[in-house]
């Protein structure tokens, strides 16, 4: 589920970023009620969208792994702290 969330959020962010960049350099045109662009610009748009989405997905995944590792480290230190507080059980050989 985390992977799906990462991929979807990276795709949405990449789409918004690519659209903003291409729109700022006036690559889109209007013909009636349709948005049009040249085919070479469309191919560049799709390619940059895919590359940007992959890079964002990797960045999001690395951030998630780093966060998980930090939480696991905190949990392990808490376990060690609790184990050091509890007295050792008496062992009787019988």
In this prediction, residue 86 carries a pLDDT of 77
Q: Among the listed ranges 16-25, 53-62, 73-82, which one has the minimum average pLDDT value?
A: 16-25
Question: How much is the pTM?
Answer: 0.67
pLDDT at residue 89 above 80? no
Q: pLDDT tens, 12-42? A: 999 899 888 888 888 888 788 888 888 888 8
- The total of other beta-carbon atoms located within 10 Å of residue 69's CB is 10
Please tell me the predicted confidence (pLDDT) of residue 37.
Answer: 84
> Where are the alpha helices (H) located in the chain, listed in sequence order?
2-24, 39-85
Tokens standing for residue 71: 């939480």
Domain boundaries in the chain? 2-84
Please state the rounded mean pLDDT for residues 64-87. 89
**36 touches 30 (CB < 8 A):** yes
* pLDDT (average), residues 60-83: 91
Q: Rounded to an integer, what distance in angstroms lies between the CA atom of residue 94 and that of residue 80?
A: 30
């Amino acid at each position: 589920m985390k992977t799906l969330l990462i991929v979807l959020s990276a795709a949405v962010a990449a789409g918004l970023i690519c659209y903003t960049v291409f729109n700022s350099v006036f690559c889109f045109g209007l013909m009636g009620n349709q948005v049009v662009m040249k085919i070479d610009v469309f191919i560049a748009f799709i390619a940059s969208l895919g590359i940007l989405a992959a890079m964002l997905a990797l960045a999001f995944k690395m951030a998630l792994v780093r966060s998980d590792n930090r939480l696991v480290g905190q949990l392990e230190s808490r376990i060690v702290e609790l184990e050091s507080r509890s007295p050792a059980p008496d062992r009787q050989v019988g």
